[in-house]
Structure 1
Amino acid sequence: HWLATDETVGARRLTVAASSFGADGSHDLHRHPHADEFFLVLSGGGTHLMGGARVPVHAGDLVFVPAGEWHGFRTGRAGPTAALYGYLGAPSLARAGYQVRPAAAAEVIR
């Protein structure tokens, strides 16, 4: 759910969105070369993959992803997870340069 973008509020250098994931939910490995990202876990948790490392995250944890770095997320069996995330330096997903890693389907976070 897009909360703040160039289209919703006229943002120039910031995008903010809310997302939810069910049990065994995931977001494929991806990057956005034109914007940093923040990912704040509001409830639930899971595993964040960044720089080849698997980092457990829980409610209250904040992940910072530099522009251009491949990363992804998986809830596992922990159950539903809610997160607030956004891009710093770009007012939309398209302007951030969102790209899914071509082999992402074979690199599911476990």
Structure 2
Amino acid sequence: MVELTQKRRSVLLGLAGLGVGHALLPSAAEAEGGAASQGYVLGPTEGEHLVHFRNPGNIFIKVDPLKGSKNLAIGTQQVPIGAGIPIHIHFEADEAFYILEGRGSFILNDVPLPFEKGGTIFIPKNSWHGFKNPDQELLLLWMVTPTGLDAFFRETCSPPGIAPKKLTKEQINEIAEKYATKFR
């Protein structure tokens, strides 16, 4: 029985890496007592793979309610040279970043702050923030609690091989509002 459960988990996590696992993984309610809530290990390119709607940057959702964590979402985000992350605010969530690659300028409540590889950025809820990376690609590890950023990415981004969604600024803010977020 344990072997069958491990094989099922391995298949589901592999499918998640292809961007289709989220449809097959147990819901957060089911996961609370199930195998997904017992923990797991993912490789660098495993997790739910999405491509950002504004740029060709990759996002991998690693931890979220669909995978058994009702309070925490974690993932990686690639930000191509010059793409940045627009100024926005989370009304209910604290967020943190660990800089895996690159450097640039982080804007926190209209104050630009330099950052580099190995740095950590903490953003308490109700703080306007964004990134500028004019000369280097970024690879960020993001963490947010409570969850919601993961769901925002699912609604705005696309799996690899699927055309990017053509969203207006108004549509993006409409989706963001569902997750207590607003873009300037």
The two structures have a TM-score, normalised by structure 1, of: 0.82
Matched, 1:91 2:147: yes
More helix by share: 2
Report if aligned partners of 1:35, 1:96 keep a CA contact under 8 Å in 2: no
- How far has the Cα of 1:27 moved from its partner? 0.7
Unaligned runs of at least 5 residues, structure 2: 1-59, 153-177
Counterpart Cα distance in 2 of 1:99 and 1:24: 22
More strand by share: 1
C-alpha change, 1:72 and 1:56, in structure 2 (3 Å) is: same
Partner of 1:91: helix, strand, or coil? coil
1:25 counterpart (80, 83, 91): 83
Q: Which runs of 4+ in 1 moved over 2 A?
A: none
Partner of 2:86: helix, strand, or coil? strand
- How far has the Cα of 1:48 moved from its partner? 0.3
Whose relative contact order is higher, 1 or 2, with alpha carbons under 8 Å and at least 6 apart? Answer: 1
Q: Give the percent of matched residue pairs that are identical in Structure 1 and Structure 2.
A: 22
The two structures have a TM-score, normalised by structure 2, of: 0.50
- How far has the Cα of 1:100 moved from its partner? 1.2
Report if aligned partners of 1:49, 1:71 keep a CA contact under 8 Å in 2: yes
Matched, 1:51 2:109: yes
- How far has the Cα of 1:96 moved from its partner? 5.0
Q: CA RMSD in A?
A: 1.4
Counterpart Cα distance in 2 of 1:47 and 1:36: 20
1:61 counterpart (119, 125, 135): 119
- How far has the Cα of 1:11 moved from its partner? 1.1
Q: Give the corresponding residue for 1:105.
A: none
Unaligned runs of at least 5 residues, structure 1: 102-110
- How far has the Cα of 1:69 moved from its partner? 0.7
Q: Which has the larger radius of gyration?
A: 2
Partner of 2:65: helix, strand, or coil? coil
AA aligned opposite 1:47? S
Q: Give the corresponding residue for 2:63.
A: 4
